């Protein structure tokens, strides 16, 4: 895939980084699943909007009105991008973690028992979609098979038997695509199983929404959470989009100005709608940037984008798979349509050392560790962690080839520098 160009221009693509031998090379960002570089069009929109900065919602000045309009338009764009139904709310949050914590505070009590609604979670989840549920409800973790597609029957059975036993789940909290294996889930099947047992579905869209066209209205998913910084916008803004009733009745996520209709010293009348959960001055620029990214992604041919990522992913799987001592976490079959995430280990080398070597000797950025998914890494036999390479719209084929040949050099020749662990970090 040497000649495959990026699908869209991203900022920072020509950044030079220093190597341990004193040379400088263009940075190969193969850590897009952690944070994707902003699209050039997003950066351009942000620069145009920054001079219009003024207080929103409560200011009467001209620029305040412009800022308010920008913010509310961005909200609509973000909701439309994920196929929000007419009555859905779009709440601007900080990121996926924030969105899921917000929703966790809104799961209603069971009308019969009065207990907080139960939430079903799988062990494949990123901690962001496990810990919020573990904290507020008796989250039940169903151990998945190698893929969620293969586990669907288990999920259905758990939902069904809980409903029959009179302890139905209120919610199934599921990732749209795994940040470890890249598996994209059979969303329609999962929704049918959950709705059939009276449970709603929240999708952790952090790894799905940036890479696949997703629609709440078309899939029937009740809530989706995702992050701007993984969707080719800068850090700081994400979204929770979904059904209004739980959100309007739930505990306001933050207490403060903007979330209230009327306050007395002893009691408060809270807003409904997004404002209920967005107390404090909102992140207007973050929302505008996220909406700009949504506009760019919506204008792309989704099949062309998926084909690009898939070609690069396959090259990684094949190229790394051919190298002795490399094990690729290849748990999917062709049916699961994985996103551009490839996780691997190199036997004899700590994943932290592999990542440090790739950075220091080749200028390649990857992620190592357990990817905030300890239960899954443990079940797959990677308790000591692994290395993850991930690609996106801004990735060029040449960067993927660089990674494959760098890992081959590591295996054939060993690292050229000495690496030590200092404060849990591998350093040259």
Residue 294 designated active-site: no
Nearer to ligand PMP, 4 or 34 (CB): 34
Of 372, 386, 403, 406, which one is the catalytic site residue? 372
Q: Helix 284-299 vs helix 40-49: angle between axes, to the nearest 10 degrees?
A: 140
Site string for ligand PMP, 361-390 (x = CB under 6 A): -----------x------------------
343 touches ligand PMP by CB under 6 A: no
Contact range with ligand PMP by CB under 6 A, out of 125-133, 286-294, 343-351, 413-421: 125-133
Nearer to ligand PMP, 36 or 404 (CB): 36
Nearer to ligand PMP, 67 or 178 (CB): 178
Widest distance between CA atoms in the chain: 72
77 touches ligand PMP by CB under 6 A: no
175 touches ligand PMP by CB under 6 A: yes
Question: Quick one: tokens of 236?
Answer: 């700081």
Least CB distance from residue 157 to ligand PMP, whole Å?
25
207 touches ligand PMP by CB under 6 A: yes
128 touches ligand PMP by CB under 6 A: yes
Task: Select the residue interacting with ligand PMP from 137, 151, 179, 343 (CB under 6 A).
Answer: 179
Task: Select the residue interacting with ligand PMP from 206, 224, 294, 306 (CB under 6 A).
Answer: 206
Site string for ligand PMP, 2-41 (x = CB under 6 A): --------------------------------x-------
Question: Interface residues with ligand PMP (CB under 6 A)?
Answer: 34, 95-97, 126, 128-129, 175, 179, 204, 206-207, 227, 372
């Amino acid at each position: 895939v040497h000649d495959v160009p990026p699908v869209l221009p991203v900022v920072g693509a020509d950044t030079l980084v220093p190597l341990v031998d004193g040379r400088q090379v263009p940075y190969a960002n193969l850590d897009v699943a952690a944070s994707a570089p902003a699209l050039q069009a997003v950066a351009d929109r942000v620069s145009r909007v920054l001079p219009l900065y003024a207080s929103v919602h409560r200011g009467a000045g001209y620029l305040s009105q412009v800022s308010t309009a920008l913010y509310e338009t961005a909200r609509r764009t973000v909701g439309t991008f994920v196929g929000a139904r007419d009555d859905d709310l779009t709440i601007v949050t900080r990121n996926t973690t924030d969105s899921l914590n917000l929703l966790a505070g809104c799961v209603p009590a069971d009308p019969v028992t009065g207990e907080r609604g139960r939430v079903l979670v799988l062990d494949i989840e990123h901690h962001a979609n496990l810990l919020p549920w573990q904290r507020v409800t008796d989250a039940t973790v169903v151990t998945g098979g190698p893929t969620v597609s293969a586990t669907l029957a288990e999920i259905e059975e758990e939902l069904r038997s809980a409903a029959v036993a009179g302890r139905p789940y209120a919610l199934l909290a599921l990732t749209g695509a795994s940040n470890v294996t890249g598996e994209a889930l059979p969303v329609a099947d999962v929704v049918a199983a959950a709705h059939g047992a009276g449970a709603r579905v929240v999708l952790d869209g952090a790894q799905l929404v940036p890479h696949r066209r997703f629609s709440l209205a078309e899939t029937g998913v009740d809530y989706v959470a995702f992050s701007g910084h993984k969707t080719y916008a800068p850090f700081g803004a994400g979204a929770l989009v979904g059904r209004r009733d739980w959100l309007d009745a739930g505990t306001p996520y933050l207490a403060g100005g903007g979330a209230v209709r009327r306050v007395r010293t002893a009691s408060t009348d809270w807003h409904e709608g997004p404002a209920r959960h967005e107390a404090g001055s909102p992140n207007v620029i973050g929302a505008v940037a996220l909406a700009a990214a949504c506009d760019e992604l919506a204008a792309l041919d989704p099949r062309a984008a998926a084909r690009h990522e898939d070609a690069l992913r396959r090259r990684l799987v094949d190229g790394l798979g051919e190298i002795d001592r490399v094990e690729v976490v290849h748990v999917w079959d062709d049916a699961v349509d994985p996103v551009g995430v490839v996780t691997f280990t190199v036997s004899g080398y700590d994943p932290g050392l592999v990542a440090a070597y790739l950075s220091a000797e080749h200028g390649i950025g990857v992620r190592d560790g357990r990817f905030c998914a300890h239960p899954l890494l443990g079940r797959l036999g990677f308790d000591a962690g692994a290395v993850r390479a991930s690609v996106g719209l801004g990735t060029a084929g040449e960067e993927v080839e660089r990674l494959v040949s760098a890992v081959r050099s590591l295996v054939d020749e060993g690292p050229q520098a000495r690496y030590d662990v200092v404060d849990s970090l591998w350093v040259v």
